[in-house]
Chain A
Amino acid sequence: MALVRLEGAVTQAPPARKDLKQQRPGRKAAFPTAILLLGAVYCLLPVVWVLVAATKNNSQLFNTFTFAPSGSLWSNIGALTSYGGGVFWDWMLNTAIYAGGGALLSVAVSGLTGYALAKYRFRGRSTLFNLLLAGVLVPPVVLALPQYLLLAKVGLTNTYWSVLLPSVISPYGIYLARIYAMASVPDEVIESARVDGCPEGRLFARIAVPMMVPGLVTIFLFQFVAVWNNFLLPFIMLSDENKFPLIVGLYTLLNRGSSAPSLYSLVVTGSLLSIIPLIILFLSLQRYWRTDIASGAVKQ
């Protein structure tokens, strides 16, 4: 209902307006600028804290002023690397596999499904769409245990698949793919391809997908972040430390750190290293954050 009307707004969205700022570089108003500055400081505060705290070793962590850096960053990283025989970098690699692999699979499935929902009329289409959206309402903690029991029956627990498979289904990704397919793949192109005798699969792969690429990258990034940040699913599914993703590994490190506080500096350093990849990803792929399709105003 609401969403259908939103899609109507999508296809009629006007092009983005010109940037008036370029025409008048002038004095900046102080008060609004100050508000933005305050917001930025608030958001950067914990990031700066963890950056500085990772330069301290354990005794400096608790005994020196928080925002004055010390020089132990490299030794902390060294200690983190040697902990558990290098298991921290296993965690990094695992997270890349789960997030990258999970997001890739998710994009494939979401793209296929979104395209089909957008460009075909078939029985059960709206039921399927509404059912998928209802999936957003099921909290992950509710699904965790039954999913575990199910995967245990086929012997897939404590494997990479046990984390990858549940990460593939993303109702939000399918929703985005559908909107993007509707907005970026014109019916005329599909029509003429069919007239030329192109089979549906080829049509999708060779014609539709290239047109949907920016939206697909957005879905990839969303799902990448979601899987990167997921805690409960891998915590339940995995018992082998070598298969943990970063967050589960850091959590176990923190728990052991409560009875072995020398691990605190490792936790802090590990936290810093765990957010650097995503920050780099964000900064370098800024133009792909097409949240305009999420807000319902697509550029054509």
Chain B
Amino acid sequence: MKLSLGGRAAVMRSLIAAALVAVLAAGCSSSGSTSSSTASQKVKLSFWSWVPNLDKVVAIWNKAHPDIQVQVQVQAGGDAELTKLLTAAKAGNPPDVAQVEYQVLPTLVSSNYLADISKYAGSLKGGFPAGIWNQVTLGTSAVYGIPEDAAPMAFFYRADLFTKYHLTVPTTWAQFAADAKKLHAEAPGVYLGTFSSADPGEFAGLTQQAGAQWWSASGSSWKVSINSAASQKVASFWQSLVASGGVNNQPQWTAAWNKGMNDGHYIAWVSDVWAPGDLVSESASNAGKWTMTALPQWTAGASASGNWGGSSTAVMAASKHQQAAAEFATWLNTSPAATAALAAQGGIYPADIAAQATLAAGKPPAYFSNQPSFYSIAKQLAAGTSQVTWGPDVNVAYSEFTTAFGTATTSKGSFLTPLDQLQSTVLNDMKKSGFTVQAAG
């Protein structure tokens, strides 16, 4: 039976309508957070993070909270996640909760992508070290994230190889340089560490230890002093080491570097308290052979350190379930069950003071079975890390660092020139965006 012309058109119209509805429904149901809920309806939260085994930690929450279910969406790493977070937030469909590194918080806040959860989480202030709490409030009365981990820098070394090469464990940078020189003379392919342009966060942390403050704010204007005397001191120090061959210039976290760490071509590592999580998979055969201690100091007897990384759990401004999200974020970073699981499964050293004390009283991580005091040392280091203020264009600074220092680390030339270049790029970038900003010595 043939349909009449009008009938056929009507069928076509309803088919098209059905198809459109199907497409849009398929689209809407799988992007970002779900529709709004009434009090008794289940809330589904999406959570972007790169922490390994995080789904196991979140499973604990999901079991205990059937009304608020959290789904983890695994990301490749901090940088990759930030890229997608910025894009998604710009488009208006970010996740509800995201893992956000401390240095990136101002960037997200200045674009108004993060929710202020001070009314849900303001009371948590006393549970975290002041320097870390400051990084999530940005010096204001708002709270932009719950601190997850503390990341003070530390020095790791292979005690057995230090003995083999007759070196003393350095407590000052001068000693470090002397050790490097001796090692290079004795065994040219073996290094105390590496310095490459791929890790601006490490360099920033080292300058913090020397007292540098790359960004500072007073009133409504910013000051940028990346090439201050303190930074120059650190830059020149590493320049001479790279130039003389005392340290290598290999980027970290590459196949070649992993191999070197594994087979003893690197006998020390200037790193951070989150190293155990890395070493477990990088250098599994060397478990129990690495020891952690404080960073070498500029002045003998001091106990300064810097920050390298560390992240918080933030609630995105576009989320429709900010209270539930804040509740989850609080649980993740302060409850004993969650912090213990994060430490054990994810290699996270928690920022929560109570959690730090619990860990210090317990056993060391499996990889550092040779060092029972591992977590006590970590606690001390966390307490001593310097305060840091991050500016609104850290990602510009880090990207420029990689570009500017790339040539210098390869050609083993001056590190002061790229440092000046970094200062001027960051300054100009902020000026162009309309910030009131000045250079400071």
Q: Is the C-beta of A262 less than 8 angstroms from some C-beta in chain B?
A: yes
Q: Given the complex, which residues of A lie within 8 Å of B93, measured CB to CB?
A: 152, 155, 157-158
What separation, in Å, do the CA atoms of A11 and B281 have in the docked complex?
Answer: 62
Instruction: Please tell me the size bucket of the interface on B.
Output: 35 or more
User: What's the dominant secondary structure at chain A's contact region?
Assistant: helix
What separation, in Å, do the CA atoms of A274 and B338 have in the docked complex?
Answer: 37
A256 touching B285, Cβ below 8 Å: no
Q: Given the complex, which residues of A lie within 8 Å of B52, measured CB to CB?
A: 256, 260
Q: Given the complex, which residues of B lie within 8 Å of A262, measured CB to CB?
A: 281, 284
In this complex, what residue of B is CB-closest to A255?
B76
Q: Is the C-beta of B28 less than 8 angstroms from some C-beta in chain A?
A: yes
Q: Is the C-beta of B240 less than 8 angstroms from some C-beta in chain A?
A: no
Q: Smallest Cβ distance from A105 to chain B, in angstroms? A: 13
Q: Which of A62, A63, A149, A251 contacts B76 (CB 8 A)?
A: A251
Q: Given the complex, which residues of B lie within 8 Å of A264, measured CB to CB?
A: 255, 258
A110-167, CB < 8 A from B: 145, 148-149, 152-161
Q: Given the complex, which residues of A lie within 8 Å of B284, measured CB to CB?
A: 262
Interface-side segment among B84-92, B172-180, B372-380, B415-423? B84-92
Q: Which of B80, B87, B88, B281 contacts A252 (CB 8 A)?
A: B80
What separation, in Å, do the CA atoms of A261 and B285 have in the docked complex?
Answer: 12
* Cβ proximity bits B258-288 to A, threshold 8 Å, 1 near / 0 not: 1100110000000000000110011011000
Q: Is the C-beta of A12 less than 8 angstroms from some C-beta in chain B?
A: no
In this complex, what residue of A is CB-closest to B252?
A258
B214-238, CB < 8 A from A: none
Q: Is the C-beta of B40 less than 8 angstroms from some C-beta in chain A?
A: no
Q: Is the C-beta of B424 less than 8 angstroms from some C-beta in chain A?
A: no
A241 touching B73, Cβ below 8 Å: yes
A259 touching B73, Cβ below 8 Å: no
B24 touching A154, Cβ below 8 Å: yes
What separation, in Å, do the CA atoms of A157 and B90 have in the docked complex?
Answer: 13
Q: Smallest Cβ distance from B240 to chain A, in angstroms? A: 28
> Given contacts A156-B27, A158-B30, is CB(A239)–CB(B84) below 8 Å?
yes
A239 touching B258, Cβ below 8 Å: no
Instruction: Please tell me the size bucket of the interface on A.
Output: 20 to 34
Q: Is the C-beta of B141 less than 8 angstroms from some C-beta in chain A?
A: no
> Given contacts A62-B255, A256-B50, A259-B253, is CB(A158)–CB(B76) below 8 Å?
no
B16-55, CB < 8 A from A: 23-24, 26-28, 30-32, 48, 50, 52
Q: Is the C-beta of A236 less than 8 angstroms from some C-beta in chain B?
A: yes
Q: Is the C-beta of A25 less than 8 angstroms from some C-beta in chain B?
A: no
Q: Smallest Cβ distance from B434 to chain A, in angstroms? A: 23
Q: Given the complex, which residues of A lie within 8 Å of B134, measured CB to CB?
A: none
A155 touching B28, Cβ below 8 Å: yes
In this complex, what residue of A is CB-closest to B284?
A262
* Cβ proximity bits A31-59 to B, threshold 8 Å, 1 near / 0 not: 00000000000000000000000000001
Q: Smallest Cβ distance from A240 to chain B, in angstroms? A: 6
B258 touching A256, Cβ below 8 Å: no
A240 touching B76, Cβ below 8 Å: no
> Given contacts A154-B24, A259-B278, A260-B52, is CB(A148)–CB(B255) below 8 Å?
no
What separation, in Å, do the CA atoms of A159 and B284 have in the docked complex?
Answer: 39
Q: Is the C-beta of A84 less than 8 angstroms from some C-beta in chain B?
A: yes
* Cβ proximity bits A153-189 to B, threshold 8 Å, 1 near / 0 not: 1111111110000000000000000000000000000
A84 touching B87, Cβ below 8 Å: no
Q: Smallest Cβ distance from A59 to chain B, in angstroms? A: 7
What separation, in Å, do the CA atoms of A223 and B91 have in the docked complex?
Answer: 29
What separation, in Å, do the CA atoms of A157 and B31 have in the docked complex?
Answer: 6
A257-296, CB < 8 A from B: 258-264
Q: Given the complex, which residues of B lie within 8 Å of A160, measured CB to CB?
A: 26
Name the residue in B23, B80, B258, B262 with the highest tally of chain A Cβ atoms < 10 Å from its Cβ: B258
Q: Given the complex, which residues of A lie within 8 Å of B28, measured CB to CB?
A: 155
A154 touching B27, Cβ below 8 Å: yes
Q: Given the complex, which residues of A lie within 8 Å of B163, measured CB to CB?
A: none
Write the residues of chain B forming the contact surface with A, with a CB cutoff of 8 angstroms. 23-24, 26-28, 30-32, 48, 50, 52, 73-77, 80, 84, 87-88, 90-93, 95, 253-255, 258-259, 262-263, 277-278, 281-282, 284-285
Write the residues of chain A forming the contact surface with B, with a CB cutoff of 8 angstroms. 59, 62-63, 84, 145, 148-149, 152-161, 236, 239-241, 243, 251-252, 255-256, 258-264
Interface CB pairs A-B, < 8 A, 21: A59-B285, A62-B258, A63-B263, A145-B87, A148-B87, A148-B91, A149-B91, A155-B31, A156-B31, A157-B27, A157-B88, A157-B93, A160-B26, A241-B73, A252-B74, A255-B77, A256-B77, A259-B77, A259-B281, A259-B282, A264-B255
